[in-house]
Chains A and B, each alone.
Chain A
Amino acid sequence: MEVADVHHAYRRRVVLRGVDLRLRPGTLCGIVGENGAGKSTLLKVMSGELRPARGTVRHSGRFGYCSQRVVLNDSLTVRQHLMFFRTAYRLADVRYAEEIMEVLGFTGYADERAGALSGGTRQKLNVTLALMHDPQVLLLDEPYQGFDWDTYQRFWDLAGRLRDAGRSVLVVSHLAYDTERLDELWRLDGGLLRPDEAGAAA
């Protein structure tokens, strides 16, 4: 995925002032920044949810996006969500999704309605729906909100496995925790993206 010279503003408030970014296959990357720095705006632009005022976004292959806001249908069960998105992604089955559920530890909730789930379990389903078609590029906006410590660790383990399998994984967060797990870390500041010298293992 390549992002070139992306600008965006909400009326007079300029949020992105020419962001360039390249996500290479097999990398686990992070973007950090303060509240309101434009991280979610950048991810919305990258996912196609928001059209940039200027600039280009290029992506290839399968693509997954998990927004900061949990987007589920409260009337449907977890299993019904999987069936709905299996059809959307044109998958033959949901075994891959079930494996993700196992890793995130919520297989026991398959027949529960999304509206009856706890915040953390809703977030697990939110992440699973973004991952279940094995995207080659994965964009995650604050993906571990509401996770308990164990699930948090397993989430990073899963992200590492996806990276090792050649997927591009981009995690956006307002806190620079666990930067040693990342191959690359950028900081969004003043509408521009700069390499974060303090973080990133590579």
Chain B
Amino acid sequence: MRFHLSRFAVATRFTLVEHGRNRFAMVLVAVFVPVWTTLAYLAMPDTPARMRLRATGETLAPPGNELTEISGALNAVTLITGFMMFAATFSGSGFDRRLAMAGYPRAHLVLAKVTALALVSAAVAAYATAVTCLAWTPRRPLLLAAALFCAGLTYGALGVGFGSLLRREVEGMFAIVMTSIIDLALQNPISSSGADNPVMRHLPSYGAMQASTAAGFSSTPVPGHLAIQLGWFAAASLIALVGFRRSTRNSLPPPAARTPGPGRESGTSGLPAPRRAATPSPALSETEAH
């Protein structure tokens, strides 16, 4: 158990260090979230926008600027988590492969990435919720934070998937931005006359959009829509996992017996002295393809 915990802890620590040193992402979090959400709130008219909330079946008439602000917060959170995870995956796939081939358990690396994604999503969602609460008061801020968190998780996993499958950085950035824009613009009743269309149910942030709108303007519980969003997260994670497995595969099976390296385990700690006899290991492994 200690073995697993220490490997998980080391991988998580360094994954978080990597995210923390992504200065551009930090600036995006600090500036983009408040600027985007505040502009959406201030620039849009506060006239009531009639809409039917599918999650509860209610017909609501929330102020247009508050509705757009929620959409802006979702857009900011999804772009930031998607970008952060894409950037880390794209630049780090060779390094992950090297670690895996050196013997780092891939399960621990994956768990570390999921943990980092959850922490990043939670922090960005909490921050976006706090910024929202400065401008107006959603009915259920915790539900709003939960919806933003689930959307962040989903786009983070999509970012990992894009990072594993796409070959050029610009392709991944474009994929994330366009996915988020299409996804959210189509669902916004202010900008899209088709926001009541059944097709909307199949968009990646449908669950989060419904839950966050309910958080803003309704008191009816919507656990099913958070579950839909988590379903999207699971599907995106599966794609990401397949990409990760593909990019870290090793065609050589590990040796049958592990021989200890330098250090206390082997009783040696220095560089080998010249003219010392070798002790070849009897364990052989083999890869074969025909």
Contacts of B94 in A (CB 8 A): 69, 71
* From A58, A75, A91, A136, contact of B259 by CB (8 A): A136
* Segment among A13-21, A34-42, A157-165, A173-181 that sits at the interface with chain B: A157-165
Does B283 interact with chain A (Cβ within 8 Å)? yes
| Stretch of A93-101, A144-152, A184-192, A194-202 lying at the B interface | A93-101
Task: Please report which residues of chain B, range 235-290, place their CB below 8 angstroms from some CB of chain A when the two chains form the complex.
Answer: 250-252, 255, 258-265, 268-290
A166 contacts B by Cβ under 8 Å: yes
Is the CB of B192 closer than 8 A to any CB of chain A? Answer: no
Interface contact A51-B287, CB-CB below 8 Å: yes
> Is there an interface contact between A164 and B275, defined as CB atoms closer than 8 Å?
yes
In the complex, are the beta carbons of B259 and A61 less than 8 A apart? yes
B contact residues, range: 35 or more
Residues of A contacting B282 in the complex (Cβ-Cβ under 8 angstroms): 60
For the A-B complex, the count of residue pairs with Cβ-Cβ distances under 8 Å equals: 171
Q: Contact mask B84-122 → A, CB, 8 Å, 1/0?
A: 000000011011011101111000000000000000000
Q: Which residues of B contact A84 (CB under 8 A)?
A: 10-11, 14, 99, 104
* B residues neighboring A (CB under 8 Å): 6-7, 10-11, 14, 17-18, 21-22, 91-92, 94-95, 97-99, 101-104, 250-252, 255, 258-265, 268-290
Q: Can you list 10 A-B contacts (CB < 8 A)?
A: A47-B252, A48-B251, A55-B288, A71-B94, A73-B18, A75-B17, A76-B18, A132-B262, A133-B102, A133-B262
The residues of A with any CB-CB pair to B shorter than 8 Å are 25-26, 45, 47-63, 65, 69, 71-76, 80, 83-85, 87-93, 95-96, 99-100, 103, 113, 129, 132-134, 136, 158, 160-162, 164-167
Known: A48-B252, A160-B274. 11 other contacts (CB 8 A): A25-B280, A51-B251, A52-B287, A54-B289, A89-B261, A90-B265, A91-B262, A136-B259, A164-B272, A164-B274, A166-B279
